[in-house]
Amino acid sequence: MDPLIAKAMLRPYNLAHDEIVSLLALEDTAELFSAAYELKCRQVGKVVALRGLIELGNHCAKNCYYCGIRRGNPNVRRYRLSEDDALRMARWSFEQGYGSVVLQSGEIESDENTEYIGRIVKRIHDFGGDDFGITLCLGEQTEEVYRFWREAGAHRYLLRIESSVPELYAKLHPADHSYARRVECLRALKRLGYQTGSGVMCGLPGQTLDDLANDIEFYHDMDLDMIGMGPYLPHKDTPLGSDIEITPEYAANQLKLGLKMIAVTRLYLHDVNIAATTVLQALDDRGREQGLLAGANVMMPNVTDTEYRENYQLYENKPCLEENSTKCRNCLNWRVLAIGEKINWGQRGDSPHCKTFPDSNKGKKS
C-alpha cells in the first residue's frame, strides 16, 4: 500500500498538509478509493443513509457569482412551497422508509420565513418524532433563529462554506457577503448542538490542490460531523459560469477531482458522514455510486414534486428533473444494491462523529 494511504488509515488527522496535497495529486486513484471505501465500511458498514431532499423555494437574498438561483438572475421563475405541500413530501419520505429529510431553500432572513420554517419543522417532528431526522440547509441566520428551529425539532444543519480560503471565497461572492459571518454561523450551530455540516466546491476557476487541502483541514478545525461537497458545475446565467463549456474532458476531470476529495476527506477525518451528491450524477450517470465506492455513505434523493424542480437549478445539467419520487426511490435502491451496498431504511443515520445525540439506531434492524 502507498505509505501515505497506510498512514492515513491508522488514525484520523494523521496527515500533514503537504501529504494531503500529495494524495489529492494522485493520478492512479484505484488504491486511494479502495482504502477510503474500506475505512468507510469500518465506520458505518456497507450501508447508505438516505435524506429525502425537499426544495422549499428558490427565493434568495444572496447574489453568489456561481449559483443559478442567485438574486440577480432574472431568468428564474420563483416559487415557495405551501406548508401543507412540504409536509406531504416529508410524510411520503417517512412512510417510504427514508430515515431523514433535508429542508433546503435559498437564503432568506425574515421573521416571516423563520416562522414558516419553524412551523414545518414542528409538524414534521410531530409525526416523525426523534427517530426521523430533520436536516436544514437554509443559509446564514442569527443564533436565535437557529435555536428556534432546533427547539422546533431540527437535528442537523448543513451550511456550505464553498471555499475555506478567504481570498477565493471573496472571488465567489459580492463584497457584502462575509466569510467571517459564515464561519461564525457554523460555530453557532455547533454551540446549539446541531449535527453540523459544511462543504466546498471542487475544481473552481483558480482553485489549487493546496486550497482543497486547506478545505479538508478546515473540516477538522471546525469539528464538523458531516460533509456535503461536490465538483463545481457552471450555470450559464451566472458571472462565474457564463463562458465555461462543459465538455466530456471537463466533466471527467471534475468528477475525478470530486471523487478524490471524498476519498481523502474520508481518510483524514474517518468518522464523519459524507454525501455522494447529485452533482456527481450530473457528470456521470454512475457518479453517485462512484462516490459511495470512494468513501461516501449518504445520498440525498430529491423528493420535491417534479413541477418545481426545473426552477431549483444551482448548476447546469441537474439530473432527475422529470423523475418522480417513487421512480427515484426504486431506481436508487437497485443502484445501491448493484454495488454491494444496502440502504439503511428507516434509520436516521447519524454521524458517528457527533456525540450530541444518543444513537437513535440502536436496536433497529438495518
365 located within any domain: no
258 located within any domain: yes
| pLDDT (0 to 100) of residue 311 | 87
pTM confidence score: 0.94
| pLDDT (0 to 100) of residue 243 | 87
Alpha helices in the chain (DSSP H): 3-10, 17-24, 30-44, 83-95, 111-128, 143-152, 166-172, 179-191, 209-221, 248-269, 278-283, 287-293, 306-309, 325-338
In terms of residue numbers, what domain contains 291?
3-343
334 located within any domain: yes
* CATH code of residue 37: 3.20.20.70
Task: Give the SS3 label for residue 49.
Answer: strand
353 located within any domain: no
| pLDDT (0 to 100) of residue 356 | 54
Please choose, from the candidates 343, 197, 14, the residue with its C-alpha nearest in 3D space to the C-alpha of residue 4. 14
Local confidence band at 140 (pLDDT 50, 70, 90 cut-offs)? very high
* Lowest model confidence (mean pLDDT) among 59-63, 329-333, 362-366: 362-366
29 located within any domain: yes
Indicate if the pLDDT at residue 295 is higher than 70: yes
* Lowest model confidence (mean pLDDT) among 48-57, 126-135, 355-364: 355-364
356 located within any domain: no
277 located within any domain: yes
The number of folded domains in the chain is 1
pLDDT in tens, 72-126: 999 999 999 999 999 999 999 999 999 999 999 999 999 999 999 999 999 999 9
152 located within any domain: yes
| pLDDT (0 to 100) of residue 361 | 41
Handedness of CA 198, 154, 328, 359 (dihedral sign): positive
